[in-house]
Amino acid sequence: MKICTITCSNTDNHGARLQTYALAKYLQEQGNNVSVIDYRPPYMDPSFRVFYWPGLSIKEWAIFFLRFPQRIRSKKRHKNFVAFSNKHISLTERVYHSIQDLREEPPCADVYIAGSDQIWNTFFPNGTDPAFYLDFGPKTIRRESYAASFATTELQSGTEDFVRTNLSRFDKVSVREDSGLTILKQLGITDGVREEDPVFLLSAEKWMELYDGTGDGERYLLVYDFFSDSALRQKAKRVAKSRNLQIFSISPFKQHYADKNFTIAGPESFLSLIKNADCVVTNSFHAIAFCAIFQREYVYVPRPDGLNERIEDLINRLPQ
């Protein structure tokens, strides 16, 4: 069977890339011909202009020099993520940049699958992008979602009709969180099901096929933090001191309290650093998911932006 999946596959986020890989890998191992739709809308297109003309403003020149090292790191980081996808993920030959592209030349398949990750988060642009609701291709193609996430306990006001109408074309709707089932019921969709994130479809042994040895033989606490959060920093320093551990960070920017920073590390190093860590301190859904897969100890620190429903939903289902 020919299957095409679509998800947030073009972001330089370890969890996003690995859940993309996991669903495609699992479906391939079931004997299917699988391609991930290479969808790169402008709002997901990272900008890595290392050099540009800041203009005549002294302030803009100051920002240019202040952020220059971060732009260099971001460009190198992006290359590692692209290399991972090129090596491990079967993408469609065509790159699609908009819903119009998908409608004009839809990928051929017997089944379209949307998911997983926060594809239906209506507080983000992707949550109201018809592409993630499979609004393209012949009507005869079967349409499903797999562990799609709304990421919040309610839709953004005014998007309810959009989501309801677009989900009506699905033959099967599965979501990742119990809160997602509640949203579906509020929309009048009573046959939705809950399924775990695709990373749980593969065993620890399967994930070890991507292991690159980063962190092997060292004793450290791993930090994965999207916000440079002070509460997370304090927690990490306390735990590391009590256990006499180094602090490693794989956040996308330098954590100045860390002994080692892996700011440009790709998905393989992310897996390896979790596998080899004594403990992981994080506000990341997928960091906790891989701690569960590799049976590593973790300390969860809530995100300061309040987007914690999906993480706490996962933790409540994990063995204690």
Model confidence pLDDT, tens digit, residues 232-273: 999 999 999 999 999 999 998 899 999 999 999 999 999 999
CA–CA separation, 88 and 268 (whole Å): 11
Cβ neighbours of 75 (radius 10 Å): 14
Q: What is the pLDDT of residue 60?
A: 54
DSSP the chain: -EEEEESS-SSS-HHHHHHHHHHHHHHHHTT-EEEEEEE--GGG-----SS----S-HHHHHHHHHHHHHHHHHHHHHHHHHHHHHHH--EEEEEE-SHHHHHHSPPP-SEEEE-SBSTT-TTSGGGG-GGGGT--S-TTSEEEESSB---SSSPPTT-HHHHHHHHTT-SB-EESSHHHHHHHHHTT--S-EE---GGGGS-HHHHGGG---TTTT--EEEEE-SS--HHHHHHHHHHHHHHT-EEEE-SSS--TT-SEE-TT--HHHHHHHHHH-SEEEES-HHHHHHHHHHT--EEE---TTS--HHHHHHHHHS--
Q: Do 287 and 280 contact (CB within 8 A), yes or no?
A: yes
pLDDT for 192: 97
pLDDT for 46 equals 60
Count of other CB atoms within 10 angstroms of residue 177: 25
Which CATH code is given to the segment(s) 207-317? 3.40.50.2000
Q: How far apart are CA 298 and CA 43, in angstroms?
A: 32
What pTM, to 2 d.p., does this model score?
A: 0.90
Q: Which CATH class is domain 2-45+86-201?
A: alpha beta
Instruction: Record the tokens describing residue 152, joined without a space.
Output: 């919040």
Per-residue confidence (pLDDT) for residue 77, from 0 to 100: 87
CATH 3.40.50.2000 maps onto the chain at: 2-45+86-201, 207-317
Q: Which two tokens stand for residue 254?
A: 């330098």
* Cα gap 249→65, rounded to integer Å: 24
Whether cis (ω within 30° of 0) applies to the bond prior to 272 is: no
pLDDT of the chain, 320 residues: tens digit per residue: 999 999 999 889 999 999 999 999 999 999 999 999 999 998 887 655 544 444 555 555 454 444 545 555 677 888 999 999 999 999 999 999 999 999 999 999 999 999 888 999 999 999 999 999 999 999 999 999 999 999 999 999 999 999 999 999 999 999 999 999 999 999 999 999 999 999 999 999 999 999 999 999 999 999 999 899 999 999 999 999 999 999 999 998 899 999 999 999 999 999 999 999 999 999 999 999 999 999 999 999 999 888 898 999 999 998 87
pLDDT for position 73: 67
